[in-house]
Structure 1
Amino acid sequence: MKGFKISLAWQILIALVLGIVVGAILHNQPEQREWLVSNILSPAGDIFIHLIKMIVVPIVISTLIVGIAGVGDAKKLGRIGVKTIIYFEVITTIAIVVGITLANLFQPGSGIDMSTLATVDISKYEATTQQVQSGTHSLVITIMSLIPTNIFAAIAKGDMLPIIFFSVLFGLGLSSLPAEHRDPLLKVFRSTSEAMFKVTHMIMRYAPVGVFALISVTIANFGFASLWPLAKLVILVYAAILFFAFVVLGTVARICKLRITTLMHILKDELILAYSTSSSETVLPRIMEKMEAYGAPKSITSFVVPTGYSFNLDGSTLYQSIAAIFIAQLYGINLSVSQEILLVLTLMVTSKGIAGVPGVSFVVLLATLGSVGIPLEGLAFIAGVDRIMDMARTALNVVGNALAVLVIAKWEDQFDSQQAASYELSLRPQSAE
């Protein structure tokens, strides 16, 4: 058919389905699986993740500096920052409370014979847990980690918080310079930002291959058999994420005269990609691009999105609260009201304190469970299905951060409703002439 073209969303969806099929076949053929996974599939998936990691830092630095220099007012920027942090804290606290409430209501861990559950070695996460064993220490580490001793070292390691801190200060410093000194450098950063978004579009052509490889490896390694004993937990996590997305975030969107379904439609490609790869980083550049196109100013988009990846992980905090109660129920531990309040408070701090740490959800849980007397060994029972739940919570993180941009833009009265209406119109299928 002339002019026929499969959209990126469909390409990724097809790759996801094919990856599940191939992974399921390989799971039952251990000889071929080991060679294919280690020599072809894992490298193919890692290439995509590496490509995304390669562009995230330059995009964040260039867009933040351009956005902040555009604000040009430290007082205004401080107001945006305070509103952003307040919004993040309120939403993530609601996520924790919703998770604990649903886990208590549906009791996913009750009546499970622990001898039927497979265990996974979680020792690799324990080494990173010592620094976050106490909430106070974790908060201090977070504050100190904001300020880089060497910005180039932070860039090399991809530490997002110090990169954001430096970029904000640099943008403010640049905005205070006379025009003849400011404009040439600002033009360089603006061109860098635009060039990196073009690079993002190039990398996205490889996305279906990366998705196919990543999901194949996941299914090939654990199969579907390990899901059944923990089906109640997986179903509850997915139901909780859908409830939070459509009811909680839907209500927030409605208050701001937005529609959560419209936002999801705009981000359909990014949601499928984030779900398939279990990585929010893969869609960070495109969220910034789309929210700016939808009517949010660059100054807010470039600040809220990268900050949200450290402080506004709705899906992760929702999952962590459900998992904590699940493990307590698994061991027959009935938490008192005071213990559950302590769990909420501890999660509020620890979930912010270790942003960017590999296996962040497990590290948060390891740092949290001990505070209310839940055995840490219980995490070994859910580690096998963690990837399946990670896919859903990553998608919710994406929706939550995109909505946060629009909420702050509305709150600052800087949202361009006419541009949003035009963008929505452009998304509607064109009638055939």
Structure 2
Amino acid sequence: MRRYQRWAFHPSTVLGCVLVGGFLGWAAPNVARPWDIIGVVYVDLLKMTVLPFMVSAVIFSLQNLYRDGGAARVFKRVVMIFAGFSLLTAILSTGASLLFRPGGNLAPETRAALGQIVSADGERSNTAMAMYTPDAPLHTSSLKDVIQSLIPQNIFASLANGETLKALVFAMLFGLAAGQVPSRISTGLQQALETIYHACQTLTRWVNLPVPLVLVCMTASQVAVTGLGPLRAMAGFVATFLIICLLLLALAVALISKRAGAPFPDVVAAMREPFALGIATNNSATCMPAMIESMVGPLQFARARVELLVPLSIALLRVGAIAYFVCGTLFIAALYGRALSAADLGVLALVAVLSGFASSGMAGIVTVSLIGTTCHYLALPFEAAFVLLAAVDPICAMGRTAVTVLGSCAAVAAICNPPVKL
């Protein structure tokens, strides 16, 4: 079984499955199109374990941290590391996007292909309007709305609706409160939470067994639906974003290697499973059990710290989304020939960081739509470009998720004390 898992999550296996799936989707689109049900079931099974796993891990870890007296010190480092990682990601993504300029100097035939993609949906893109009906006022989010979106009025409803941030806030508050309960009373709760935690890990390992098959089916169904046309027309943007992802992944692995005191190849091997899961599922939350085991097992970071920090980083540190917002906005600016000043780039970096925090719990097309926020602050048109970005988002989502997963692991490594090697 261990040999099979090493093969299933090896990067070459992941890449091979994606290529095979792409070929099948291109060669037999009618056959491959219904295969998306396999990916839907697989991701739903993983999501099934995410919230109980996160809640049990956070409450259990905060109990121990509070009793050890280290909670305040850890949270100070969390704020500093998360803010620093987010800003650094925005700056690096801005520099790389300006260097490669996706969307600029496009050939006439490429522009024509992009125009066809924008208008491909025909009447479906038209907006139906009712006459003599007053327009609904535009809703603008205020600080009050943001705060209310974090506080669960009913924790059971939040759990049922899959509201990760609200569940995380409840788990943190409940864990801090449970840490003040005497040990003679809270022992039963600790044992129950530990049982839930390990049961979710076991269930995740079972669900992850058919990962190669899932990759083939998901890729084949996506290519069958969209074809290869969008990828060819948007090749410049996709290539630029993937290069940014590779740069950020290399920096994340290098930081983990330095903090863990382990060779670079050993860290790559340790991060193999969470990396493959991120690409396979496009959902960073489903990678939490694998992230914890990779950080605690081969790299030997303290389990109590890792179990608390991994859910926090997945929920709040969205470095993959930040890189995507920057690259997508600069692509739109180049596509429309808009020159951006240094002040504009500063605004872009700041808004991208804030949008990254706001993207917690979002995936797929919903994440793409947040580029409209950065475009709004720079007075850039977004509606037409949204179709272009949505056409290639399945590929970009793989890079976004992988960067978020490994970037979160790097942040956890930076916050935790280096492991003591025996």
TM-score bin, normalised by smaller chain = 0.7 to 0.9
How many angstroms does 1:17 deviate by?
Answer: 2.9
Other-structure match for 2:321: 316
CA contact (8 A) 1:62 1:190 kept: yes
Matches within 5 A, 1:161-172: 161-172=165-176
How many angstroms does 1:310 deviate by?
Answer: 2.4
Other-structure match for 1:192: 196
2:323 and 2:81 map into 1 onto residues whose CA distance is 16
Other-structure match for 1:37: 33
| CA distances 1:248-302 after superposition (whole Å, capped 9, x unpaired) | 6625753775555433220112212212332223321111222222322333222
1:207 and 1:248 map into 2 onto residues whose CA distance is 24
CA contact (8 A) 1:64 1:299 kept: no
CA contact (8 A) 1:9 1:272 kept: no
CA contact (8 A) 2:65 2:71 kept: yes
Matches within 5 A, 1:45-194: 45-73=39-67, 76-112=70-106, 113=108, 114-117=111-114, 118-119=117-118, 137=142, 140-194=144-198
Other-structure match for 2:419: 416
Equivalent in 386, 396, 417 of residue 389 of structure 1: 396
Other-structure match for 1:345: 350
CA contact (8 A) 1:20 1:219 kept: no
Equivalent in 358, 374, 377 of residue 380 of structure 2: 374
How many angstroms does 1:374 deviate by?
Answer: 1.0
Compared CA separation, residues 259 and 84, structure 1 to 2 (3 A):
farther
CA contact (8 A) 2:318 2:360 kept: no
CA contact (8 A) 2:104 2:337 kept: yes
Other-structure match for 2:20: 21
The one-letter amino acid of 1:183's match is T
Matched, 1:400 2:407: yes
Equivalent in 212, 229, 233 of residue 229 of structure 1: 233
Q: Percent identity, aligned pairs only? A: 22
What is the SS of the residue equivalent to 1:320? Answer: helix
What is the SS of the residue equivalent to 1:344? Answer: helix
What is the SS of the residue equivalent to 1:216? Answer: helix
Compared CA separation, residues 341 and 298, structure 1 to 2 (3 A):
same
CA contact (8 A) 1:24 1:223 kept: no
CA contact (8 A) 2:21 2:218 kept: no
| CA distances 1:227-262 after superposition (whole Å, capped 9, x unpaired) | 222222122112112222224662575377555543
1:334 and 1:176 map into 2 onto residues whose CA distance is 56
CA contact (8 A) 1:151 1:166 kept: yes
Compared CA separation, residues 229 and 407, structure 1 to 2 (3 A):
same
What is the SS of the residue equivalent to 2:196? Answer: helix
| CA distances 1:393-415 after superposition (whole Å, capped 9, x unpaired) | 211111111121121112xxxx4
Other-structure match for 2:5: 7
Compared CA separation, residues 18 and 179, structure 1 to 2 (3 A):
closer
What is the SS of the residue equivalent to 1:417? Answer: coil
Matched, 1:280 2:279: no
Equivalent in 273, 298, 302 of residue 303 of structure 2: 298
Other-structure match for 1:427: none
The one-letter amino acid of 2:380's match is I
CA contact (8 A) 1:66 1:190 kept: yes
2:209 and 2:50 map into 1 onto residues whose CA distance is 17
CA contact (8 A) 2:321 2:400 kept: yes
TM-score (norm 2): 0.86
Compared CA separation, residues 379 and 342, structure 1 to 2 (3 A):
same
Is there any run of 5+ residues in structure 2 with no aligned partner, and where? 126-137
CA contact (8 A) 2:25 2:222 kept: no
CA contact (8 A) 1:245 1:399 kept: yes
Compared CA separation, residues 259 and 82, structure 1 to 2 (3 A):
farther
Other-structure match for 1:429: none
Compared CA separation, residues 156 and 195, structure 1 to 2 (3 A):
same
Other-structure match for 1:208: 212
CA contact (8 A) 1:42 1:213 kept: yes
Equivalent in 322, 328, 332 of residue 333 of structure 2: 328
How many angstroms does 1:23 deviate by?
Answer: 4.0
Q: How many residues are paired up?
A: 399
CA contact (8 A) 2:278 2:398 kept: yes
1:190 and 1:222 map into 2 onto residues whose CA distance is 44
